[in-house]
Structure formats: C-alpha cells, structure tokens
Amino acid sequence: MIEIDNLSKRYRNAHGNVTPVLKGISLQVPAGSIAAVVGPSGAGKSTLAKCISLLERPDSGSITVNGKDLSLLSGEALRRERRAIGTVFQSSALLGRKTAWQNIALPLEYLGVVERDIHARVGELLESVGLSHKAQAYPAQLSGGQRQRIGIARALALRPSVLLADEATSGLDPQATDSVLKLLRQLRDEYRLAIVLITHEMDVVRATADTVAEIRDGEIVHSGALNTLLAQPDSHLGQQLMPLSPVTAPADILLRVSYRTDGSIRTDWISQLSQQHGLRVDLLGGHVEQVNGLLSGRMQIGIRFTHERLSIPRLLALLAQQGIVAQVLDAPVVLKEAV
C-alpha cells in the first residue's frame, strides 16, 4: 500500500521566483488495486511521478509505503526502502547491448544476488510477462509492447509492493497497449501490487483502473472509484472518461443518463420504457462498453410524450426502477412544476 499525504513541491527559477507545482496532493492506493492519475499537460503529473519514486524530494508532505515514510529517509536507508517502488516509464529504457534476460537481471546483479537466485527470479518474471521465448533477444529484436513488458519485469525484479507506471502505454499501438494493460491487471492480482498509473489516455483508464484522480494546476480536483464516477451522470470526470458528442433534436425533456449493469438492468430498457409508458425516446449520443467486466453506459436522450405527460419526478423514478441514474438538462416549465 502507498499513502501520499499533503504532498507539495515548488521550483525556483534562475531569477529566484518560486512556482508551486504540487499543492497538497493526497492519494491512497491499497494493495491489489490500480489508481489512475489523469490531467492535462502541465498539471503536475510528471512531477508527482518523480516525487513518488523519490527522484525528486517533495518540499513537504509524506510518501508512506507499507507503513514507512520514505520522504524522511536519505542515503542508504532511502535506497534500501525505495526498492519497494518499481518504476516503468514511457520508454522501457532497456540497454541495447544486453538481452532481455540480462536487462531484467541488472537490479539483482547490482545488489550482489547469487547467480542461482538471479536465474530463478529472472525466469519467473519472464514467464509472468509471457516472454520466456524472448529471453535471449536484444531490445532491437523486440516489438514496442514486448520491450515495455521486459521493462515491467525489470521493475519487479526486487519484489516491490508498489509499481509506478508513468505513461507506460503512450506511443504504443492499440494491440501492444492492450497487452501491457492486461499484464498490469494480471500483476495487480497475482502479486497484490499497488499500482499508480499516470496517463492522459482515458481509454487506458477505463480498461485498467479501479480508482481515478484528476490533477489540475497541482491539485486533485476530482477523485473516486471508477465504477462510481461512470454511474454519476453529472460527474465531470465521468464525462471525460466517457465523452459524449450528442446531436440536437426536438424533445419535451432532455436527459443525461448513466448506468452500470450488474445483471439486473435490461439492455433493452429504452424500448421497454417507450412501450410501457407511451414515450418516444431518441438516443442523441451514447457510450457503452465493458468496464471491469461489467457493461457501463453514459447517454444523452431526448424524450417526447405521445400520450400522458409525466412529471419529472415520475419519469426519474421510472428510470431509477430500471437502475438508470438521470440528470435533467432541459425541460419545459410545465414539467418542472409538475408533481
């Protein structure tokens, strides 16, 4: 588990002016979970990654891994405890003149681990990342996704409890991205890793994360469980995760709806609502996909009444019975006043 509490970092330029980059960041990532950190360029994501890995020392706040505050340590004590954090960057940074096997073995050789144990550990890691058959291949002989998987294996060589993945899939093709994300989920479950995934790719977040935190101007402005954010129609971060580009159409009431199926929500809920209550439901924009093994959806719909005019509370109640959460975007005054 990693706990980041009230982390702050400032930089001073050549003229002596101080610029705050991180402003009281707090984040908890339990063992066996993946927390995604998203945000625009310049928001502070890269600085946060450097502080988590202690490549940059924060000005204040704490970084606690398995009960030990690494921000208080220095020298040999810091180097020893920092082994609890494995790091994977956008570039796998493999040494071109060493084979995949030799690249993974580097951290173990540096610590003086005996050859027998190195051989066993490297073999285990190559098998975990599915590249035992590429043990003697050089980086130039590997695809981008394979190089990244070897980089992940090397990051795990010292058996860390935390894995920091900083834009680990940026620049990879879709197939390679899928293989790396599948590996991260597998490692989360197999080794009970706490994974901090820093990315700007929302499809990566939907495919991998358990929780999400959005950082802007050095502060976390939105955070929560991925499932919860996607199920809230008015969630700003949820809208970024599943963006909509709705078309316009005449309607008596305009709604943004969201849902997450747990087996109780009918996939034909739109036609059921239309038939049972005399409604014409126009789908103006939608995003539906599998997230963490369950069907999640965000939609914008327009409703026109063909028979009786339902009040807003009644309409929302009917949707809620289907497991649908709705936000009213626009409606006639008569509907707003109806009871």
Confidence at residue 261, expressed as pLDDT on a 0 to 100 scale: 65
Has residue 27 been placed in a domain?
A: yes
Exposure on the CB side of residue 315, measured as CA atoms within 13 A = 29
Which structural domain range is residue 262 located in? 242-337
What letter does residue 31 receive in the DSSP assignment? Answer: T
pTM here? Answer: 0.87
End-to-end CA distance of the chain: 50
Exposure on the CB side of residue 82, measured as CA atoms within 13 A = 19
Region of 24 please: left (phi>0), alpha (psi -120 to 50) or beta.
left
In 3D space, the residue among 154, 182, 177, 153 whose CA is nearest the CA of residue 167 turns out to be 177
Please report, for the domain that includes residue 263, its CATH number.
Answer: 3.30.70.260
The whole-angstrom separation of Cα 43 and Cα 214 is: 9
Has residue 233 been placed in a domain?
A: no
Instruction: For the chain, 339 residues long, give each residue's pLDDT as a single digit of tens.
Output: 999 999 999 998 878 888 999 999 999 999 999 999 999 988 999 999 999 988 899 999 999 998 899 988 888 888 888 899 999 988 878 999 999 999 999 999 999 999 999 999 999 999 999 999 999 999 999 999 999 999 999 999 999 999 999 999 988 899 999 999 999 999 999 999 999 999 999 999 999 999 999 999 999 999 999 988 888 888 888 888 888 888 888 888 999 998 866 666 777 888 888 888 888 899 999 888 888 777 888 899 999 888 777 888 888 898 888 888 898 988 654 444 444
Q: Which of 195, 224, 253 is the last residue of a domain?
A: 224
Has residue 108 been placed in a domain?
A: yes
Q: Which of 224, 255, 270 is the last residue of a domain?
A: 224
The whole-angstrom separation of Cα 257 and Cα 261 is: 13
User: Taking the CB of residue 210, how many other CB atoms lie within 10 A of it?
Assistant: 19
Confidence at residue 338, expressed as pLDDT on a 0 to 100 scale: 43
The whole-angstrom separation of Cα 37 and Cα 211 is: 9
Are residues 246 and 151 located together in one domain of the fold? no
In 3D space, the residue among 140, 196, 189, 147 whose CA is nearest the CA of residue 171 turns out to be 147
